[in-house]
Amino acid sequence: MTATFDFKGFAKDLKKQAEQVMPEDIASEHKKEFLDRIYDFTYIAGEAFSNDDTIEDADTARALTQVISEWTFHKYVDLLRSDIPKMYHESILQKVAYVAFEMGKESEFSRLTQDQMLTLVEFQTRKAYEKACQKLLENGQISQEAFDKAMNLSNVDEYSTDKLCHNVKIVKNKKSTLPFTLTALVVGLLAVGLNIFYKDAPSLVIVNTFMVMFLSMFVGIYVGAQIFGK
């Protein structure tokens, strides 16, 4: 099942939001190219998540798309303010977006909480950005000064949390434990009934042992699901 949503309309909406919050220096010199690139990266990410069988619902696909869009926003601001030539911006942003995409999928697969997902994506996108710039430095395509300046720029840290992707809400679909609870209840009642009506039966010891093992397994699975399944 694919989590289809209107990624084209969503990309347009985020492009409008980006226009409202983009820094003045970027807006005055790079507005069109900046917004067009935000739209393109959001559109591509949205299309990929929308058609991905591992993403369960449209809300999750939309939220993960927004995370990529906003990290593209912040790292593109850093690039435009740096001394790294424009010819390298696209490839750096592609590497950052790819890592964010993979981490988003990994977070969903591992059932991470929203905060855990955001932390993972942030750590890995920063790392991918630095690695991409480091590669340019090693190849002699940028100077040490340009690299250092790029590393010291961090537009994301200049924004308050209400402007970052921390306002993304991902609703995790929790599987109901009701069927397992009812099964355990039936088994428990059956055990009580057997002990009442067949208390002298020789095989009751074996039955009771099985019942205790079953109920112990259920308790372990239930507790584990409550702790690690959130």
Instruction: Kindly state the average pLDDT of the residues 154-163.
Output: 71
Count of domains forming the chain: 2
Residues 152 and 212 in one domain: no
188 and 125 share one domain: no
pLDDT digits (tens, 9 = 90+) for 132-149: 999 999 999 999 999 999
Count CB-CB contacts under 10 A for residue 206.
Answer: 10
Cα–Cα separations (whole angstroms), residue 36 to 15, 42, 149, 150, 172:
8, 10, 25, 22, 32
Closest CA to 65 of 121, 129, 16, 113: 121
The DSSP code for 161 is G
Residue-wise pLDDT tens digits, 52-95: 888 888 888 999 999 999 999 999 999 999 999 999 999 999 99
Predicted local distance difference test score (pLDDT) of residue 83:
94
Please give the Cα distance from 4 to 131 (Å, whole number).
33
Residue with tokens 């964010």: 100
Question: Please, what is the end-to-end C-alpha distance for the chain in angstroms?
Answer: 22
Range of the domain at 98: 7-167
Q: Are residues 123 and 184 in the same domain?
A: no
Q: Is residue 180 over pLDDT 60?
A: no
* Residues 111 and 188 occupy one common structural domain: no
**What does pTM read for this prediction?**
0.68
Picking from 91, 77, 86, 67, the residue whose alpha carbon sits closest to that of residue 24 is: 77
* pLDDT over threshold 70, residue 13: yes
The model's confidence at residue 166, banded by pLDDT at 50, 70 and 90, is very low
Q: Do 155 and 41 lie in a common domain?
A: yes
What pLDDT does 48 receive?
A: 92
In a domain, 56, yes or no: yes
Assess whether 210 and 97 both reside in one domain: no
